[in-house]
Structure 1
């Protein structure tokens, strides 16, 4: 039974992450649509709102709840997991990812009201936060105690710097066009 629950957990983690990645992409396009003419902006904003709402309500949020339910079920089926230091750290990152999810919901509601507080560049950086959570969670789950915490944290910082640099380079080339 445990391995079936684990498989469900992994499948819905993939669905959840895909939803979060695409959601922020939609936010970027929605934000950039605000620079269009009034007619284009109104049409695009209405369409982006529909896409964002459906993605969040039909795919992303249900996938989050199924992921969390499967994870909790695995801990109930194998209570010894709660003694593992790597799992406690992983759960901290999971809490961060859940917070990220709810911040995205709030961003979606703001955009529906016509409030755009973040630029497309800020949203691109925001999208990388989910990537950092994903890397941290997967590496902790796979390597468990085999990863030195210092090297893991340093690796995460270096990875974050690479991602941020990539966004800046992308902006540089995009602005040049």
Structure 2
């Protein structure tokens, strides 16, 4: 039974993260529409709002809930899960899951503002905001694979370095686009 629960948990974790990654990308697009012509806004805003609505309520939130239900079931109703629950790495992982839910709730606030036609953040902020879920994903994967509450730090430090390099690349690309006028 445990292996089936684990498979279902992993499937919904993957779809949950896919939803989180894509919703923030949609937020970037929705935010950039504010700078378009009126005709473009009239076409793009309703389409992006519909796409965001479907992604948020049909994929992302249900995946978060189902991933959590299967995790809860594994942890509290199987002997293997109860044993994992007592380990340090699992407690740290659950802390990251709580952080992921906080991230999702903040995304929900952004989603609601954009659905009302408000522009809560710049597209640059949202591009960086999208990396928060990536950092959480790296931390959780390293924790689960290494099963160690300390060694995951090396993986997270590595992804932070990569993220900094990506931000520098993003800044370089932004400056290049500004020079070209595109």
How far residue 114 of structure 1 moved from its aligned partner, in angstroms, is 1.8
Contact conserved, 1:121 with 1:171, CA < 8 A, in 2? no
Counting matched residue pairs gives 177
**TM-fit CA distance, 1:147:** 5.3
Please say if residues 138 and 155 of structure 2, whose CA atoms lie closer than 8 Å, have aligned partners that are also in contact: no
Query: Who is 1:100 aligned against?
Result: 103
Q: What secondary structure sits across from 2:147 in the alignment?
A: helix
Deviates more, 1:145-154 or 1:25-34: 145-154
SS in 2 for 1:145: coil
Structure 2 vs 1, CA of residues 84 and 47 (structure 1 numbering), >3 Å: closer, same or farther? same
Aligned-partner Cα distance in 1 for 2:134–2:103: 11
Counterpart in the other structure of 1:55: 55
| CA shift for structure 1 position 97 | 0.7
Alignment gaps of 5+ in structure 2: none
Q: Distance in 1 between matches of 2:136 and 2:112?
A: 23
Question: Alpha carbons of 1:92 and 1:164: their partners in 2 closer, same or farther (altered >3 Å)?
Answer: farther
- Deviations, residues 60-105 of structure 1 (Å, cap 9, x unaligned): 1000001111111111112111111011111111111111111111
> Within the alignment, does 1:30 sit opposite 2:33 as a pair?
no
Which runs of 5 or more structure 1 residues have no equivalent in the other structure? Answer: none
Contact 1:24 1:127 in 2 (8 A): yes
Runs of 4+ in 1 over 6 A off after TM superposition: none
Q: Output aligned runs, 1:1-177, within 5 Å.
A: 1-76=1-76, 77=78, 78-145=81-148, 148=151, 151-177=154-180
Per the alignment, in what secondary structure is the counterpart of residue 35 of structure 1? Answer: coil
* TM-score, scaled relative to structure 1: 0.92
Deviation at 1:167, TM superposition (A): 3.0
| Alpha-carbon RMSD | 1.8
Q: Deviation of residue 106 (structure 1)?
A: 1.1
Equivalent residues of 1:2, 1:74 under 8 A apart: yes
State the shift of 1:173 in Å.
Answer: 3.3
TM-score by length of 2: 0.89
Contact 1:125/1:167 (<8 A) preserved: no
Q: Distance in 2 between matches of 1:169 and 1:130?
A: 23
